[in-house]
Amino acid sequence: KRTMKLNTALVALSLFGTASAFAPQPMAAGTQRASLTELEMANGAKRKAALKAAKKVAGAVGSVALATAGLPPAARAAETAVESAKGAKNVVTVGAGAFAAGIVANKLLENLDIGSIPETADKIEEVFPGAKSNKKLVKEVASALEEFGYGKDSLVATSLCADEVNRVLEDDFKKVYDDNFSMGGLAGFPFGGKTAFGAMASHIPDGGSCLVVFGPHVGVDSTGKVGTVERRGRANGGACCGSAVAASGYVSGVHTGQASKYGPPETAIDAQQNFVGTMLLPYAEQLEEAADKMVDLPYALYDAQKKMVNEIVTTGAGSIADGKVSVLGGIQVNTPDGESDYFLPLSFEVYNNSGELVEDMSDAIDCGVLPAGVAQK
């Protein structure tokens, strides 16, 4: 947990304001200051509340900069503040204060892990509580695995949907563990199975271990709508995850008697989608009763995938020479192009190469839980 104190923010502002190039000026009379404890408590609140608290920390002199704190660089905020201060006796000092306030605000908002589109951020906090930005997730996972010897001699194996929006998380983990082995297919199911796991195990650097990351994905667009997202170069949103949405339509049809169950696929050209729909059938009733099917859908898919991954890992771990297997499962949350994606971790475990659970690491990264209304099948 963060233990920063009010003095941290004040010292940062003071050091900047007393630099030899600028003459320090007192804050406006009556300016209120919020402690960082208030800001930490705002982690689960809406972005607007966080911005309001951040403004109190910076004081009146930085209020203009803070209004655009989510739009880096901070220099832009400083420029705006200077423009608004024309006619003042000491424009340079005002600019310095605004610039410092912008830096502090950006740092505070980064610590709060809040996106810059309020509608998107608010919806993620509401329906996927505990979701973390990719940057924060990778940092926490890497830190937690250090005690097990994970580092550059480790390998990342992912089971994520084929959708291009999911390559971002793989790239973020590759910055820590170099390479990525892909086991996944449509909707994130580990279609590579035990064969892919065994092949991946033989690619782990000598003396190293592997991290398996799996889960379905879901989009949240700029209006806060779940199940769709604006992709690169496209002004309007599209289904996300398309495979999952199609499967939910099939499941609904079977559940209401308007469609027949799939038989075994006769060809390979759409075998994966056939499988996704079949694996989702046990969740038909809860999806039909859901307040928002697009919210419950990724939770149901995660539950189905978790069982598959558990079996693959416990039966295939013997393929790993002398390292360990850590397994991170959850829900990817894709956001509009240019925004950070999020990941809601729901499980984090470490196994030995005999397939035995060594330690449940869920608390180390504050994993979330399946909602009470989402029955585990």
Instruction: Using alpha carbons, list the distances in angstroms from residue 138 to 228, 313, 361.
Output: 25, 21, 14
Alpha carbon distance 194, 136 (integer Å): 30
Q: Is 334 exposed, middle or buried (0-12, 13-18, 19+ CB in 10 A)?
A: buried
- Three-state secondary-structure class, residue 56: helix
What 3-state DSSP class applies to 88? coil
% pLDDT > 90, the chain = 62
Q: What is the pLDDT of residue 360?
A: 97
3-state secondary structure of 331: strand
Instruction: Provide φ and ψ at 238, rounded to 5°.
Output: -140, 160
Task: State the Cα–Cα distance between residues 143 and 365, nearest whole angstrom.
Answer: 9
pTM over 0.85: no
- Say how far apart CA 243 and CA 116 lie, in whole Å: 28
| pLDDT for res 107 | 54
Least confident of 7-21, 120-134, 204-218: 7-21
Residue pair 157/200 in contact (Cβ under 8 Å)? The answer is yes
pLDDT digits (tens, 9 = 90+) for 336-350: 988 999 999 999 999
The pLDDT tens digits of the residues spanning 54-76 come to 444 444 334 333 333 443 444 44
Beta strands in 151-240 (DSSP E): 155-159, 180-182, 210-214, 217-219, 228-230, 237-239
Q: Which of 216, 222, 246 is nearest to 234 (CA)?
A: 222
The H helix count followed by the E strand count for the chain is: 14, 10
In words, the CATH class of domain 118-360 is alpha beta
| 371, 289 Cβ separation under 8 angstroms | no
Name 237's bridge partners: 230
pLDDT digits (tens, 9 = 90+) for 224-237: 999 999 998 888 88
Domain ranges of the chain: 118-360
Mean pLDDT of the chain: 78
